[in-house]
Amino acid sequence: MARQLVSFDWAMKRILREKANFNILEGFLSELLKIDIKIEEILESEANQEDERNKFNRVDILAKNESSELILIEVQHSSEIDYFHRMLYGTSKLISEHISKGKGYKQVKKVYSVNIIYFDLGQGFDYLYYGKVDFKGLNRVDDSLKLSQNQIDEFKKREVYEIFPEYYIIKVNKFNDIAKNSIDEWIYFLKNEEIEDNFKARGLIEAKEKLDIMKLPKKEQLKYKKEAENRMLELSLLDTAKIEGIKEGEKVGLKKGEKQAKIEIAKNLLDILDIETISKKTGLSIEEIEKLK
């Protein structure tokens, strides 16, 4: 019987921030980025929600490696239509916050954005995506803009894209549970909260030992189970409300049905989410939601 492990986002909030457990996060990042990652410290990040109504939807962790590069890891459970924009905002904000005034632009920090999502973002068939900045010639399609030798010597980088943020998106629910390589073994854990005995990816052996639910203090075990139940409840309410809205739409027309679906979702979420979050998820105004109380 597989050992029951805590979810990765729970571990990010309560376990992986400890220096003794950096090797777990280092293993995951090394397998994903395909470079050797050594974490120097964990920095504070504003998106690490502690509010009972929000903390099971989204969590993130900001790490700085030995090269002073910034790595932002975010786990997102609820669908957000503007998630691409938030990825861009997150990297831009980090760049602006971590540049010293008067030091020149070459001090801009390298940022990696790692996004672990449990919803279907955009259109695509893969479960693992990578994005980087690349400058292509418009008149010569075989031409790419390169760094000069002086820039290579000055910045200690070989390619232009190494200066800009790099993005990784893991669409967990798209993964078919077949681990073909080391990063797939990690994605299997992200989806199933289990680690098979034959998995060899860096960091997983430590994760299997340190993320065991039964090794948590009894109080933490109860808290973890409560958050898991809350997450399942929210997903269930969203699905139910959507179905009810569709049925209503069949009766009174599509446009009115879509509005009714949003209202039903909002009603069901009033007890577990704040009004601002409900407004963002449904598209209803704060005033409309307040009238539902």
Name the pLDDT band for 127 (thresholds 50, 70, 90): very high
In the chain, the amino acid numbered 117 is I
Q: What is the pTM of this model?
A: 0.76
Q: Which of 13, 53, 48 minimizes the C-alpha distance to 231? A: 53
> What pLDDT is stored for residue 275 in this prediction?
83
Alpha helix locations (H) across 98-217? 149-155, 182-192, 204-210
Number of Cβ atoms within 10 Å of the Cβ of 44: 8
> What pLDDT is stored for residue 222 in this prediction?
75
Question: Which of 35-44, 156-165, 270-279 is predicted most confidently?
Answer: 156-165
Reduced to 3 states (helix: H, G, I; strand: E, B; else coil), residue 3 is coil
Reduced to 3 states (helix: H, G, I; strand: E, B; else coil), residue 9 is helix
Query: Over 60: is that where the pLDDT of 253 sits?
Result: no
The values of phi and psi at residue 91, to 5°, are -70, -40
Name the pLDDT band for 165 (thresholds 50, 70, 90): very high
Taking the C-alpha atoms of residue 97 and residue 99, their distance in angstroms, rounded to an integer, is 6
3-state helix, strand, coil in the chain (%, to 5): 45, 15, 40
Mean pLDDT of the chain: 84
- Give the mean model confidence (pLDDT) for residues 236-245: 60
Name the pLDDT band for 31 (thresholds 50, 70, 90): very high
The 10s digit of each residue's pLDDT in 175-229 is: 999 999 999 999 999 999 999 999 999 999 999 998 887 677 777 777 766 766 6
- Give the mean model confidence (pLDDT) for residues 108-117: 95
